[in-house]
């Protein structure tokens, strides 16, 4: 006979996560299912308290990041590091408002960051979003863990673009963006940033193959689990990046390209 798993209060979910003291963790999330489950079980979800529960698990010896990517600098040519919202969901915006978090500098690919390495990450002045002097390189070099909450990693990885840039793929190119940048002191300046963008004239899009789940799992860097009927997963970034870079450089079975038909 089927036995229903008891509901875990949302502030206790972090206790069940395969994370440990001192980890470097990048969190990608869609918290809708957590909100629904909390409401159905008489809880009022507070994103700050949920974030705090993750911080308590990692402790100040670790580092927690939320992607706070924004396209405002591309679209309006204005970015205010203090107030430009993230386009990456409610939890990322809650992290930006959290008094203990700081924001890294790149206007398109910033992170809300807390913990041991926050100052190091926020001091990075990378012009390009995914370059060797960027937070992405730091995360890969230190084999940070990607934690996905409520989404499959293919819906919010971004690491694949770092790998594409590392391989200098032919279907992307460096595009320059210029605009007004407002820093933490409220001072304005005109700045230039770059991003390794997809060539829209030759490609319809790119994607991550379903094969990748098994490849990552077989390499021991990808783990999935379920709590309160919600999908969670972790992905070790260095191992995953090594696998994808090798794939892009050879067979290209994991990251695929949708080419446009010749005119």
Tokens matching residue 11 = 């502030």
Tokens matching residue 61 = 């010896």
Mean pLDDT, residues 55-84: 97
Tokens matching residue 52 = 């705090």
* 126 touches 133 (CB < 8 A): yes
Tokens matching residue 210 = 């379903």
Which residue's structure tokens are 């700045």? Answer: 191
Nearest to 53 by CA among 107, 114, 112, 109: 114
pLDDT digits (tens, 9 = 90+) for 220-229: 999 999 999 9
Distance separating alpha carbons of residues 113 and 179, to the nearest angstrom: 24
* CA angle, residues 215, 158, 241, in degrees to nearest 5: 40
**DSSP symbol at 156:** S
236 pLDDT band, cuts 50/70/90, is very high
Sheet holding 78-80, edge to edge: 78-80, 172-182, 188-198
What average pLDDT does the structure give for the chain? Answer: 95
2 pLDDT band, cuts 50/70/90, is very low
* 213 touches 153 (CB < 8 A): no
Mean pLDDT, residues 158-171: 95
DSSP per-residue string spanning 80-104: ETTTPPPSS-HHHHHHHHSTT-EE-
Is residue 97 predicted with pLDDT exceeding 80?
Answer: yes
Distances in Å between the Cα of 148 and the Cα atoms of 83, 126, 233 are 25, 26, 5
Tokens matching residue 157 = 């990885």
Distances in Å between the Cα of 121 and the Cα atoms of 22, 118, 165, 217, 222 are 16, 5, 20, 29, 25
Local structure of 190: helix, strand or coil: strand
Mean pLDDT, residues 169-179: 96
Structure confidence at residue 54 (pLDDT)? 98
193 pLDDT band, cuts 50/70/90, is very high
Residues 80/106/202/164 CA torsion (nearest 10 deg): -160
Query: Which of 22-26, 99-103, 147-151, 202-206 shows the lowest per-residue confidence on average (mean pLDDT)?
Result: 202-206
Q: Return the higher-pLDDT residue of 84 and 260.
A: 84
> What are the backbone dihedrals phi and psi of residue 134, each rounded to the nearest 5 degrees, phi first?
-105, 165
pLDDT digits (tens, 9 = 90+) for 5-59: 799 999 999 999 999 999 999 999 999 999 999 999 999 999 999 999 999 999 9
Query: Are β-strands 78-80 and 188-198 bridged in parallel, bridged antiparallel, or unpaired?
Result: unpaired
* 88 touches 68 (CB < 8 A): yes
263 pLDDT band, cuts 50/70/90, is low
Structure confidence at residue 1 (pLDDT)? 38
Nearest to 238 by CA among 156, 167, 158, 144: 144
């Amino acid at each position: 006979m089927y036995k229903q798993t008891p509901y875990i209060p949302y502030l206790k979910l972090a206790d069940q996560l395969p994370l440990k003291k001192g980890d470097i963790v990048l969190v990608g999330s869609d918290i809708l299912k957590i909100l629904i489950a909390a409401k159905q079980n008489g809880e009022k979800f507070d994103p700050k308290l949920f974030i705090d529960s993750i911080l308590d698990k990692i402790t100040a010896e670790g580092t927690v990041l939320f992607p706070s990517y924004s396209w405002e600098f591309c679209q309006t040519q204005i970015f205010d590091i203090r107030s430009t919202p993230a386009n990456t969901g409610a939890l990322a915006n809650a992290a930006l408002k959290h008094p203990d978090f700081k924001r890294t500098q790149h206007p398109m690919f910033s992170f809300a960051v807390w913990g041991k390495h926050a100052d190091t990450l926020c001091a990075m002045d990378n012009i390009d979003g995914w370059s060797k002097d960027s937070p992405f390189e730091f995360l890969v070099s230190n084999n940070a863990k990607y934690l996905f909450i409520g989404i499959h990693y293919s819906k919010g990885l971004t690491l694949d673009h770092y790998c594409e840039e590392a391989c200098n793929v032919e279907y992307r190119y460096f595009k320059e963006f210029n605009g007004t940048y407002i820093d933490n002191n409220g001072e304005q300046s005109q700045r230039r940033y770059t991003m390794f963008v997809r060539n829209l004239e030759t490609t319809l899009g790119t994607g991550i193959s379903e094969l990748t789940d098994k490849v990552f799992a077989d390499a021991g860097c990808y783990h999935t689990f379920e709590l309160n009927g919600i999908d969670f997963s972790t992905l070790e970034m260095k191992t995953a990046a090594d696998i994808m870079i090798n794939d892009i450089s050879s067979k290209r079975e994991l990251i695929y390209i949708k080419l446009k038909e010749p005119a």
